[in-house]
Amino acid sequence: QVQLVQSGAEVKKPGASVMVSCKASGYSFTGYAINWVRQAPGQRLEWMGWINPGGGNTESSQKFQGRVTITSDTSASTVYMELSSLTSEDTAFYYCARGRYGDPLDYWGLGTLVTVSS
C-alpha cells in the first residue's frame, strides 16, 4: 500500500532553516510527483511546491521562491523540503502528498509540525 512517512517534529529559532523528509513506499517512486503543502494553525492549506523524482524537475510557489528547496534521493525513495529564513509565520504542519503535475493529491503523509520560536 502507498505510504508517505515524514520526519518528526522540529523546533527552530527565527532565522534558522528546517529540513523535512518524506519517505515513499508501495509504488513506483519515479512515477509520481511529490508535493509539499503546509497548514498554519487555523488556516487553509497552502501549496508550496513539488518535485518530479523521475526527472528531477521542481517548482515552487512564488510566495516561497528563494526560501524553499525541494530535492529527492531516488536511491532512498525520499523527498526533502528545506525552508530557510524561518519566522514565526512559518509555524505550521507541513505535509507531503503524492500527485502528478496537474493531478489531485491522492496520498498524504501524516504531517510534520514545525514550530518557530525564540
Partner 1 sequence: EIVMTQSPATLSVSPGERATLSCRASQSVSSNLAWYQQKPGQAPRLLIYGASTRATGIPARFSGRGSGTEFTLTISSLQSEDFAIYYCQHYDKWPPWTFGQGTKVEI
Grid cell at residue 102? 496537474
For cell 510557489, the residue is 61
| Minimum gap (Å) between residue 104 Cβ and partner 1 | 4
Q: Which long-range contacts (CB under 8 A, 24 or more apart) does 41-45 make?
A: 41/91, 41/92, 43/92
| Minimum gap (Å) between residue 14 Cβ and partner 1 | 25
| Minimum gap (Å) between residue 74 Cβ and partner 1 | 22
Number of amino acids touching partner 1 (CB under 8 A): 24
Contacting residue, 9, 11, 19, 45, with partner 1 by CB under 8 A:
45
63 binds partner 1 (CB under 8 A): yes
| Minimum gap (Å) between residue 82 Cβ and partner 1 | 19
Interface stretch with partner 1, choices 13-21, 68-76, 83-91, 106-114 (CB under 8 A) = 106-114
Contacting residue, 1, 62, 87, 118, with partner 1 by CB under 8 A:
62
Q: Report the alpha-carbon distance of residue 72 to residue 78 in Å, rounded.
A: 6
The CA angle 90-96-98, to the nearest 5 degrees, is 150
Contacting residue, 44, 55, 75, 118, with partner 1 by CB under 8 A:
44
